Amino acid sequence: MPNSAMMDERGFRRILIRNITTPLAAGVVSAGVFVVLLAYLITTMNWVEHSERVIGNANEIAKQMVDMETGLRGYLLAGEEVFLQPYVIAKPKLAANLDGLSKLVDDNPSQLDRLRTIRYQQQQWDLYAQEMIRLRAANGDVTGPVKTGRGKSQFDEIRRQLDAFVATEVRMRQERNDDARTVTTWVAIVYLLLTLGVGGILAWFGRRELTGLSRIYTKALNEHAEHATLLQQQAWLRTGQSELAQQGIGQLALPQLSVALLQFLARYMGVVVGALYLRAPDGSFRRVASYGFSEEWEQRDQRMKSGESLVAQAAQERRVIRLEPLPADYIRVSSGLGQGAPASVLLAPVDADGEVNGVIELGLLRPVSERDVDLLNMVKGNIGSAIEASASRQRLQEVLAETQQLNEELQVQQEELRTANEELEEQSRVLEESQASLENQKAELEQTNEQLAEQGQALDQKNAELQKAQLDLEERARDLERASQYKSQFLANMSHELRTPLNSSLILAKLLAENAQGNLNDEQVRFANTIYSAGNDLLNLINDILDISKVEAGKLDLVPENLAIRQVVEGMAASFDPMAQQKKLAFHLHVTDGVPQHMVTDRQRMEQILKNLLSNALKFTSSGQITLHVQQAGDGQVSFAVIDTGIGIRAEDQQGIFNAFQQADGTTSRKYGGTGLGLSISRDLAHLLGGDISLTSEPGKGSCFTLTLPVEWRNPVAGPRAASPVAVMSAEPPAVGMAHAADSA
């Protein structure tokens, strides 16, 4: 045993030393890494600050050039020297700023060459300005030289060179920021991986060595804690029993004893409301004391008949009854700060010599614990004995008073007889009054029962009316469902009937627009092209109506197939990248690691949804970029996020754009066109494919529409599916960020 203890001590000391020195070494290494990283970031910040100063000086030069041109123009128009002040003031400042800017960019030959070009162009323009000033001062004709445009072309060239100069500095600043961000990220990742690896190895070895020690100490501590808890609970029960017994010592009157018992239980157990009921000779229970009752509850009936309440039930079963949780209107507890309802109630019978003589009801603001029940089981005999002793003392006092009265009557017989007669008469009167009071109470109870019966009948009648109204609503819902099906079938049939003649019209319009025989003039060809374009738009609208009608009527057939995800999204990118380039937009495709290679779904409907989302992104994005981001979304699902930097959608409009014929607002359809069916059809198709479409958007910054589909499509229950509101997300897609402005075109 000593050898084992010594080994445990040596092992513990070895673990302690290792766990102290290793973090210290890791801290020193961390400090070195962060010092190097901090020095690199400071250098990068200095270069960024240098770029900011260069950009600021360039903008100041542009402003001074504008001041000189403005002063020259005012002087040429008015001929007053006061208009020439901006030119005179800005000229020396411009030269100083050009010299300062040359010093700032002396480390960049290309920028220095561009700055020399700007200086040369400015000097040429200044010669032109001096010539115009001399000509205007001599009252010569300045309109001719101005109309030649020489000064304007020189000034425009200066402005173009300055814009290129500033753009280069902005690009260099962005590159430095990106390099700093990349280096910082990689350093943090490598350091974190090394720290986690070393920490994991040390933790594994330390855990293996400490496990043996921890088991021994844990077992001993658990046994000690259980023993201490048991002793503490027993001490609490014994203390409560002892203090409760002291409450009954010297209490001669039953009312004072009852109040003292309730006050002790309230203090010792945390009771907020309570009552003590004593059994009457007729078997009923009467409330003799209360604690925490409001004035309203104090005025309620104090007597309970046998078998009519939980008080009588607790006495009959001779056990403690706990009630939790309680109804909200069970009882209210009031104080100066407010009021509330108890969380639980305990009902405990009290007995003396095996006979139940009362019931205690206690309300707590917390759940009932086992020690509360144990305490009541332990002290219920003491409470019953104290109540019985107090009642016996009260009966003895009454007998003693009667004996003294008889002695007085024996001494004075006449007076005693007269007094006795008066007392008998008084008692008869009291009994008559008591009987009348009981009859009044009985009549009130009967009246109350009649009122309750009438209220019950009224409730039954209201329930019947509610059931009838529910049946009417169900019938109306069925009528609406039939009407919706009729509408969908009508739209589907009409769309088929309209497409046949429309296709013929489109073919004829196309033939006329081609003008193969050359017998149409340019205006007629333009009219034919207009007819073909309008007819094609109408055909697309009919196709959208046909799709949404099929979805609502439950007649849209899905053809699932095993398709390659990367092939589908690369096809989308190949189709939409040229259109994005036409609008001078950047188109990006990101497929994250972990995305399954294949999925089973309807390829045509999946591509239809993605085309609608990408078309909306192109339509509502005038500058910036469009991104198609594919990643695994949870277990067995793939998400396709279409992100743009377009106009965005307000939060209050994000729910409505997924309804048919709805767009973000009235100005959207007027400015960008569209019918408002695309997103409605896309959402319904996503539901049929077992997925959903979610939206994140901010006005002016862009939007993100995310299509989530299961990797393996399963056939749902057949029949039309009711439109459900779209799920609007508040979180951005991982590693992509906020972008995607969308619309329901």
Residue 738: pLDDT band with limits 50, 70, 90 = very low
Cα pseudo-dihedral 393, 397, 402, 405, rounded to 10 = 160
Q: What is the DSSP string of 651-702?
A: GGGTTGGGSTT--SSHHHHHHH---S-HHHHHHHHHHHTT-EEEEEEETTTE
Tell me which of 5 and 36 has the higher pLDDT. Answer: 36
Reported as a single tens digit per residue, the pLDDT across 666-690 is 454 445 545 556 788 888 888 989 9
The two tokens of residue 468 are 């009838």
Whole-angstrom distance, CA of residue 375 vs CA of residue 379: 6
What global pTM score does this model have? 0.34
Reported as a single tens digit per residue, the pLDDT across 417-459 is 778 778 888 887 888 887 888 888 888 888 888 888 888 888 8
Residue 543 has pLDDT above 60, yes or no: yes
Model pLDDT, residue 196? 82
The two tokens of residue 236 are 């609490």
Distances (CA, A) of 308 to 303, 317, 626: 11, 14, 75
Q: DSSP state, 657?
A: G
pLDDT (mean) for 35-45: 73
Check if the beta carbon of residue 719 is closer than 8 Å to that of residue 682. no
pLDDT, averaged across the chain = 77
Model pLDDT, residue 180? 78
Residue 576 has pLDDT above 60, yes or no: yes
Q: Where are the domains of the chain?
A: 2-213, 251-393, 454-556, 558-728
Residue with tokens 């979805």: 551
pLDDT (mean) for 54-65: 79
Whole-angstrom distance, CA of residue 192 vs CA of residue 470: 63
Which phi and psi angles does 287 have, rounded to 5°? -75, 120
Residue with tokens 């738009």: 537
CATH class of 2-213: mainly alpha
Residue 733: pLDDT band with limits 50, 70, 90 = very low
Residue with tokens 């067995």: 636
Round the CA-based radius of gyration of the chain to a whole number and report it.
47
Reported as a single tens digit per residue, the pLDDT across 229-281 is 777 777 777 777 677 777 665 556 777 777 888 788 888 887 888 888 888 87
Residue 591 has pLDDT above 90, yes or no: yes
Residue 736 has pLDDT above 60, yes or no: no
Residue 8: pLDDT band with limits 50, 70, 90 = low
Model pLDDT, residue 577? 92
Q: How do strand 727-728 and strand 692-698 relate by DSSP bridges?
A: parallel
**Domain 558-728 is classified in which CATH homologous superfamily?**
Histidine kinase-like ATPase, C-terminal domain (3.30.565.10)
Q: Which of 608, 612, 616, 611 shows the shortest CA–CA distance to 689?
A: 608
Whole-angstrom distance, CA of residue 198 vs CA of residue 22: 9
Whole-angstrom distance, CA of residue 680 vs CA of residue 659: 5
Residue 537: pLDDT band with limits 50, 70, 90 = low
User: Domain 251-393, what architecture?
Assistant: 2-Layer Sandwich (3.30)
Model pLDDT, residue 625? 94
pLDDT (mean) for 107-122: 81
Q: Which of 742, 581, 608 shows the shortest CA–CA distance to 685?
A: 608
Of the listed ranges 56-65, 415-424, 725-734, the least confidently predicted one is 725-734
Residue 663 has pLDDT above 60, yes or no: no
Reported as a single tens digit per residue, the pLDDT across 637-651 is 999 999 999 888 888
Model pLDDT, residue 727? 35
Model pLDDT, residue 494? 66
Tell me which of 484 and 709 has the higher pLDDT. Answer: 709
Residue 628 has pLDDT above 90, yes or no: yes
Cα pseudo-dihedral 581, 582, 583, 587, rounded to 10 = -20
User: CB atoms < 10 A from the CB of 146, how many?
Assistant: 14
pLDDT (mean) for 203-219: 69
CA dihedral sign of residues 277, 280, 283, 284: negative
CATH class of 454-556: mainly alpha
Whole-angstrom distance, CA of residue 210 vs CA of residue 403: 83
Residue 338 has pLDDT above 70, yes or no: no
Provide the terminal-to-terminal Cα distance of the chain, rounded to the nearest Å: 83
Model pLDDT, residue 307? 67
Check if the beta carbon of residue 669 is closer than 8 Å to that of residue 629. no
Whole-angstrom distance, CA of residue 345 vs CA of residue 274: 9
Whole-angstrom distance, CA of residue 14 vs CA of residue 209: 10
Q: How do strand 339-340 and strand 333-334 relate by DSSP bridges?
A: antiparallel
Residue 541 has pLDDT above 80, yes or no: no
Residue 182 has pLDDT above 90, yes or no: no
Model pLDDT, residue 489? 67
Helix (H, G, I), strand (E, B) or coil at 315: helix
Model pLDDT, residue 568? 92
Q: Which of 440, 553, 539 shows the shortest CA–CA distance to 490?
A: 553
Residue 700: pLDDT band with limits 50, 70, 90 = confident
- Return all residues near 119 (Cβ < 8 A) that are at least 6 apart: 98
